[in-house]
């Protein structure tokens, strides 16, 4: 069924990989393909086996001018190469129509056919346009899967209301194909001003164990670091996210590496720092750890005081700052409760940072566990105070400033 994919297409054109799943709306994917082509987009199609029962692969092959990828497990020698090549080729991965089944597989990371495998492998932005029966759409499993996907940065073009093929009326009808194509074009035209840059972001708290069941940690939620990682990935950077224990979904297309303690974070950061163009230390490492970690659970002291001796942890930022190359841009954060600007400026110098993002964590709308922040961006030359903004917007402003500084570093080094 599957012909070998030819990747010798016009590389100056943007490429959409169009995933088609098995629903009655599959025929509308032909129109989506045509509309994308009219906008100058090169389209490759991947179909599930069920989609082939609604529209023949030959139709998409003829329209797209490329072989259509279907389930290729009959050809074990080549499928691995083909799905990775397609995943890499995509500037946008659009699945339209997307059944409840593909949404569930994506939410769980299941890769058991050509489409689910390819979308799992891609680092491109992903968009889904679901279409299904109203009951399936309303089902909490489907809604939960959508929330999971959205939290990972997947764009969702929600279905419209209307009369469905099954005779029911309600939500579940594939959104108008023009709307889907407009949304796809918006994502495709988003700034890719970080393409070619490698960015390492650290995020979240550390945990310093006291005994097998207890640890010392802090209130960092990781939201700011995750927002930066997502924004950098969306802007085309290759992102490595070092993450402490947080309850956030990793942004799609970002390589994540977990850490637990400050020493652990330092080890991971040193492993990856040399490969990066930009380092962003948004994590909240504990400054101290227990001098000894009890082997067994510490018991109550029958009224006596319990005293822990703490020793200082390495300063991850200071270590990275000391070792960084002149062309590497290094950004830190300063979470302060008083003298915000002075304290942050001191840290900028002490840790050899190029830029520090300072915030008063006691201010309403800033700091821990909220989706907004109020920050001051401080470099050696400039101080820029930003108003209350969503963490997503703050992330973009930090990256805007980072790109300006990076260019200056490149000129100097």
Q: How far apart are CA 174 and CA 137, in angstroms?
A: 11
Contact at 8 Å (CB) between 181 and 151?
no
CA 46 to each of CA 56, 61, 83, 90, 181: distance values in angstroms, whole numbers, following the listed order: 12, 10, 9, 12, 17
- For residue 345, state whether it binds ligand CTP (rule: CB under 6 A): no
The tokens for 389 are 């903004």
Cα 357 to its chain centre, rounded Å, is 21
Pick from 114, 129, 116: nearest CA to 31: 129
- For residue 99, state whether it binds ligand CTP (rule: CB under 6 A): no
- For residue 333, state whether it binds ligand CTP (rule: CB under 6 A): yes
- For residue 142, state whether it binds ligand CTP (rule: CB under 6 A): no
Residue 333 C-beta: closest distance to ligand CTP, Å: 4
Q: Which is nearer to ligand CTP, 86 or 280 (CB)?
A: 280
Read off φ and ψ for residue 209, nearest 5 degrees: -70, 145
Q: Which is nearer to ligand CTP, 44 or 259 (CB)?
A: 259
Q: Which is nearer to ligand CTP, 86 or 335 (CB)?
A: 335
Q: Which residues have C-beta within 8 Å of that of residue 349, sequence separation ≥ 6?
A: none
Q: Which residues have C-beta within 8 Å of that of residue 35, sequence separation ≥ 6?
A: 177, 178, 181
Residue 340 C-beta: closest distance to ligand CTP, Å: 10
Q: How far apart are CA 125 and CA 213, in angstroms?
A: 40
- For residue 172, state whether it binds ligand CTP (rule: CB under 6 A): no
- For residue 281, state whether it binds ligand CTP (rule: CB under 6 A): yes
Spot the catalytic one: 30, 108, 166, 178.
166
Residues in 288-317 that interact with ligand CTP by CB under 6 A: 313, 315-317
Question: Which range in 5-13, 76-84, 130-138, 326-334 contacts ligand CTP by CB under 6 A?
Answer: 326-334
- For residue 285, state whether it binds ligand CTP (rule: CB under 6 A): yes
Question: Which range in 75-83, 280-288, 363-371, 375-383 contacts ligand CTP by CB under 6 A?
Answer: 280-288
Count of alpha carbons within 13 angstroms of residue 130, beta-carbon side:
27
| 178 in catalytic set | no
The tokens for 246 are 């947080």
Pick from 250, 252, 236, 253: nearest CA to 197: 236
Q: Which is nearer to ligand CTP, 33 or 280 (CB)?
A: 280
From 28, 66, 347, 391, residue interacting with ligand CTP (rule: CB under 6 A): 347
Q: How far apart are CA 316 and CA 160, in angstroms?
A: 50
Residue 286 C-beta: closest distance to ligand CTP, Å: 7
Q: Which is nearer to ligand CTP, 36 or 279 (CB)?
A: 279
Active site residues: 166
- Residues of this chain that interact with ligand CTP (CB under 6 A) are 262, 281, 283, 285, 287, 313, 315-317, 332-335, 347, 351
């Amino acid at each position: 069924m599957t012909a070998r994919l030819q990747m010798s297409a016009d590389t100056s054109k943007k490429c959409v990989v169009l995933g088609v799943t098995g629903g009655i709306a599959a025929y509308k994917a032909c129109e989506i393909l045509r509309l994308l082509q009219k906008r100058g987009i090169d389209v490759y199609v991947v179909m599930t086996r069920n989609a082939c029962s609604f529209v023949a692969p030959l139709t998409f092959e003829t329209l797209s001018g490329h072989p259509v990828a279907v389930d290729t497990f009959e050809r074990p020698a080549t499928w691995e190469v083909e799905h990775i090549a397609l995943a890499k080729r995509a500037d946008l991965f659009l699945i339209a129509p997307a059944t409840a089944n593909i949404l569930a597989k994506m939410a769980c990371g299941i890769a058991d056919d050509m489409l689910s495998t390819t979308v799992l492998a891609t680092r491109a932005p992903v968009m889904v346009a679901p279409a299904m029966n109203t009951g399936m759409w309303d089902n909490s499993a489907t809604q939960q899967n959508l929330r999971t996907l959205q939290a990972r940065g997947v764009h969702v073009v929600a279905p419209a209301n209307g009369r469905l093929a099954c005779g029911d009326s309600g939500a579940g009808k594939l959104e108008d194909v023009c709307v889907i194509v407009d949304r796809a074009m918006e994502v495709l035209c988003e700034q890719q001003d970080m393409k070619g840059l490698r960015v390492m972001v650290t995020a979240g708290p550390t945990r310093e164990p006291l005994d097998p069941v207890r640890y010392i940690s802090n209130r960092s939620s990781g939201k700011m670091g995750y927002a930066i990682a997502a924004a950098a990935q969306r802007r085309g950077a290759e992102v490595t996210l070092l993450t402490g224990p947080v309850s956030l979904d990793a942004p799609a297309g970002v390589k994540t590496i977990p850490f637990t303690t400050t020493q652990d974070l330092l080890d991971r950061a040193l492993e990856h720092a040399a490969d990066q163009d930009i380092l962003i230390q948004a994590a909240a490492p504990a400054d101290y750890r227990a001098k000894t970690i009890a082997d067994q659970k510490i018991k109550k002291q029958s009224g006596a005081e319990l005293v822990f001796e703490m020793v200082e942890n390495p300063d991850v930022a200071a270590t990275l700052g000391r070792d960084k190359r002149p062309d590497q841009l290094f950004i830190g954060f300063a979470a302060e409760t008083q003298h915000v600007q002075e304290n942050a400026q001191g840290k900028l110098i002490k840790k050899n940072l190029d830029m520090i993002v300072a915030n008063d964590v006691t201010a309403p709308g800033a700091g821990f566990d909220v989706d907004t922040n109020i920050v001051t961006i401080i470099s050696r030359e400039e101080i820029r105070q930003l108003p209350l903004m969503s963490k997503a917007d703050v992330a973009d402003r930090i990256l805007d400033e980072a790109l300006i500084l990076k260019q200056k570093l490149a000129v100097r080094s």
